[in-house]
């Protein structure tokens, strides 16, 4: 058997857009940007971070774009090596208050579009997906309709990364026991029942792309069905421009839609930040482990 042919960014652009790229140039992180031969469209070819990564991201972009609540780059197509999507020119200045409020309202609407279940991948999306450079397991068809948020969050968003961190020697057995306690008490720590929200899934500030058109665009998703407080907690994790306006507009839109955020959601930020903090722990090490442990202990104290 021969080796698989090397597929270049140029090959991928032609395959998925039907147009020949011109002015192809590096963008960073192995990606390339090019204008198409119509000279009016600019696209990005992103290399795969791992198996299923392009399918997970491409399907996620299409799912988030489905209803037009928040701008999302068009995903032209993907293969094992590349994802081809529209390039969005970045803004030159800071986002305006109006843009932030529009983003908050749109995000509230997007979340309320829902998902088939907690942990459900987007249509066409794989169960074995990615968040950044880390593997992320979604639920397959058989698990979509019988999984509570607490069971899903423990099994798929906390426990796998704690186990990996223990294996890496970044978290010891005593610290792991704190996360075990959080998992056991999740139904109490997140009271009330909400339907699955349609999540971006990796909504830190770097994935809110402020475009030259004045809008916030969603990029690089790890989309799945989850709890809407998780996306909101990620926005807080590393700071986001105009965060207060985003969250204020979100809350107003949720109220108007008849689905207000549950009382005490601000006390649960650390609980929902456990997922990204543990992902960062397995990717980048001890400093994030300490942050994750602090968040876990704060979540337990908040419910005492």
Phi, psi of 261 (to 5 degrees): -60, 145
Annotated active-site residue 140? The verdict is no
Contacts of 290 (CB under 8 A, 6+ apart): none
Helix axes 269-284, 159-168, angle to 10 degrees: 40
Q: Which residue, chain included where needed, has tokens 């997922």?
A: 275
Choosing from 69, 175, 202, 220, the catalytic residue is 202
Q: What is the full DSSP assignment across the chain?
A: -PPPPPPPHHHHHHHHHSS-EEEEEEEETTEEEEEETTSS-EEEEEE-SSTTHHHHHHHHHHHHHTT-SS----EEEE-SSEEEEE--PBPSSPPPHHHHHHHHHHHHHHHHT--SSTTPPPTT--SEEEETTEEEE---GGGSSS--HHHHIIIIIIHHHHHHHHHHTSS-HHHHHHHHHHHHTHHHHS-S--PPEEE-S--SGGGEEEBTTS-EEE-S---EEE-HHHHHHHHHHS--TTHHHHHHHHHHHHHHTT-PPPTTGGGGHHHHHHHHHHHHHHHH-HHHHHHHHHHHHHHHHHT-
* Residues noted as catalytic: 202
């Amino acid at each position: 058997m021969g080796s698989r042919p090397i597929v270049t960014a140029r090959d991928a652009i032609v395959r998925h857009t039907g147009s020949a790229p011109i002015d192809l140039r590096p963008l960073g992180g192995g990606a390339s940007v090019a204008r198409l031969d119509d000279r009016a469209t600019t696209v990005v070819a992103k290399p795969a971070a791992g198996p299923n990564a392009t399918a997970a991201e491409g399907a996620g972009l299409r799912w988030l774009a489905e209803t037009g609540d928040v701008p999302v780059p068009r995903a032209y197509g993907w293969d094992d090596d590349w994802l081809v999507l529209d390039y969005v020119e970045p803004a030159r200045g800071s986002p305006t208050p109006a843009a932030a409020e529009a983003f908050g309202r749109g995000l509230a609407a997007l979340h309320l579009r829902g998902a088939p279940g907690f942990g459900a991948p987007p249509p066409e999306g794989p169960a074995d997906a990615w968040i950044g450079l880390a593997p992320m397991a979604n639920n397959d068809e058989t698990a979509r309709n019988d999984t509570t948020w607490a069971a899903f969050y423990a099994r798929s968003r906390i426990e796998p990364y704690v186990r990996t961190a223990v294996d890496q020697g970044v978290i010891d057995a005593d610290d792991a026991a704190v996360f075990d306690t959080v998992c056991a008490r999740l139904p109490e720590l997140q009271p009330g029942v909400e339907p699955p929200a349609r999540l971006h899934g990796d909504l830190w500030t770097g994935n809110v792309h402020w475009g030259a058109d004045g809008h916030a665009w969603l990029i690089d998703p790890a989309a799945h069905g989850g709890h809407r407080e998780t996306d909101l907690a990620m926005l807080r994790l590393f700071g986001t421009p105009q965060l207060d306006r985003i969250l204020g507009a979100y809350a107003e839109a949720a109220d108007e839609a008849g689905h207000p955020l549950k009382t005490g959601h601000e006390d649960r930020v650390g609980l929902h930040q456990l997922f990204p903090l543990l992902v960062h722990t397995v990717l980048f090490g001890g400093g994030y482990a300490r942050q994750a442990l602090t968040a876990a202990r704060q979540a337990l104290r908040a419910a005492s």
